[in-house]
Each structure stands twice: as C-alpha cells, then as structure tokens.
Structure 1
Amino acid sequence: MSDKDIKKEQEHEELQENTASAEADENLNQVDETAESEETQPEIGPAAELAEMKDKYIRLMAEFENFRRRTAKERQELFKTANQDLMSELLPVLDDMERARQSMEATKDVDAMLQGLELVFHKLKHVTHQKGLKPMDIPAGTSFDADMHEAVTQIPAPSEELKGKIVDVIEKGYTLNDKVIRFAKVIIGA
C-alpha cells in the first residue's frame, strides 16, 4: 500500500469517527431536550401533588420552627433588659441613700438625717409613681374585695357597721398601671 492509500484510508476512518461522534452528540442533545421538556412539564397525578404538598409542609414547618426560636430569643433578651429603664431611674435614689448612710455615720444631728431621708423617700415615691406604681388607699370600713385585698385574720368588730368590713390594713397594696401587683393585707371585722 502506498502512502496515498494509507492517507486516504486514515481520512476515511476519521470521517467515519467524526460522523459517529456527530450522531452521538445529536442523540445526546435529543435526550437532553427530552429531559428538559419533561422537567418543565409538571407531572400530573396524585403522587406528584402529594410530593409537592409534602415539600410545602416541610418548608412551612421549618419556617415556623425558625420563627419560634427567633421569638423565644427575643423574649429572653427582653426579659434581661425589661427593668433597665426602671433601674436607671432608681440609680440616683440609690446614690442618695448611700450618701445618707455615710452622713449618718459622721453626723449626730438627728433632724438633719430625718430631713435627708425624707427627701430620698419622696424621690423614690416620685420615680415609682412615674412608672405607674400607686399605693391602694383603703380606709377603715371599706368593704372587703377579694380582687384587691388579702384577709389575714378576722377579729371581733369594734362596731356593728364594721362587721364584714376592713378594720385595719397591715400591709399596703400596690397597683402597677391599674393592675394589682400586691394585694393589701387587711384585718376583717367579724
């Protein structure tokens, strides 16, 4: 065989290989196009619908779990800093009490100490009143209300009109923004 014949034969083989390769590429492209068209078309049937709904459910549950964790974390942060405002307002009162204690050690003037303590007490009452804390005003003879009062004991009523009514207040009750936070401890006439 001559060089020309060998060359022709190699060219013929290359042509066959290229043709086979081109046919294979074309077949692959057709398979890819068929797969793409099947992916774009929604599967019809209850199994596909069930799978889609299950996926949505799982995503919704994950979203809800993330929401629950986030709100729990926010709530913990709020609890940690909820009293920050109140404590900031009480710090000057605490400073005044510290100064009053130091001055009590140094001075012998009882009247000056009482005046200083009275000023600190008024400052404390002012801060608590600003934050919505109010003492309950319960005069003797007021009817007992279980929503506002806590009966500690009963004693014989000093008069007929005090029977079943409050005779004395042992410990003041307090409300915070019209909500009872400490019931008044009272003595009731029997």
Structure 2
Amino acid sequence: MTKKKKEKADIEDIVKDQEETLVDQEEAISKEAVDSDSQTPVEEASEDDKGEGNEAQDLKAEVQNLNDRYLRLNAEFQNYRKRVEKEKTDIFKYGNEKLIIEMLPIMDNFERALSSFEEDHAEDKVLSGVKMIKKSLDDFFEKNGVKKIEAVNTPFDPDKHHAVMTEAVEGVEGETVVAVFQEGYTLGDKVIRPSMVKVSS
C-alpha cells in the first residue's frame, strides 16, 4: 500500500469514528429528554397548580378593573351626551335672544307713542296705525316665545323685577310691585330683561 493510500484510509477511519460518536451522543440526548418528560413529580405539579391559580386570580382582578373602568367611562359619556343635548336644545330655544333684545327698545317706543297719542287725543288714523304696528310686534314676540312679565300687584321677585324705587302705599302689603317703568320680558322660561318697577315698602 502506497503512502497516500494509507493516509486516505486513516482519514476515512477518523471520520467514521466521529460520525459514530455523534450518533451515540444524539441517541443519549433523545433518551434523556424522553425520560425527563415522563417524570412528573407530584411536588412540581402542585407548584404549577398554584401558579395557575394565582394567574387566574390576577386575570379575574384585571377583568374586574377593566369592567369598573368601562362603567365609569360609560357614565361619563352619558353625562356628556346629556350636557351636549341640553346645550343644543338651549341653542335652538334661545338662539334668537339677541335679536329679541335688540327689538325690545322698539316695543318700548311704540308703547310710549301710544300713551302719548291716547293722552293727547291724537287723530284716530295715526293711533290706529301705531296700534297695528304694535300688534304686529306682539304677534312676532308670541310666535318666538317672548312674553311680557306681569308685574303690577304681584309680589316682588328679584329674578323678574328690578326695583328702582320704593314707596309706602296705603292698603298695599310691603314688597309688592305698584308700578312698572319699563316692561320686562321672558324668552321661553328665561328672563331676558327684568321689569323696571316701583315696590311698596
């Protein structure tokens, strides 16, 4: 046998031995893994059960916490929705408040003019025309939910009346409106201008 052939044979033997060693190691590792899986100590299983129990409790607590947060958020949302609905209703209900307030002085002037005409016995046609305009304004106010505050001979109400004078009046109880200097008005259930009044003392 030549030297090269001998070296080749030696190398092949070494490779074969290494392959056999690797196969043996793989078989040993596989057997050890199977043996390890087949062993289920009672103590280890008990610890696993405890761990699973704690995990279940943690999950239950987390679910409860999320449920509480949902209920709070839902309550806040319901309150927000009610508030928005009320604001929308108020916008529709009182959206023309500024227009009405700006028209109140016109009504005041007509009422003053009517008083002057009636006192001075002015021409019937002029008086009739002013009354027609006044009625138109009255209809406009009624259509838009504007009402005059009834004040004379009613108890003084600071929410509806603005007292600019007090006077002792015989036969009239105190804190009673006895005269109106300027009419007050409501828009819906909101006072947009209180009546300017004289109150008995």
TM-score norm. by structure 1 comes to 0.49
Higher Rg: 2
Question: Normalization by structure 2: what TM-score?
Answer: 0.47
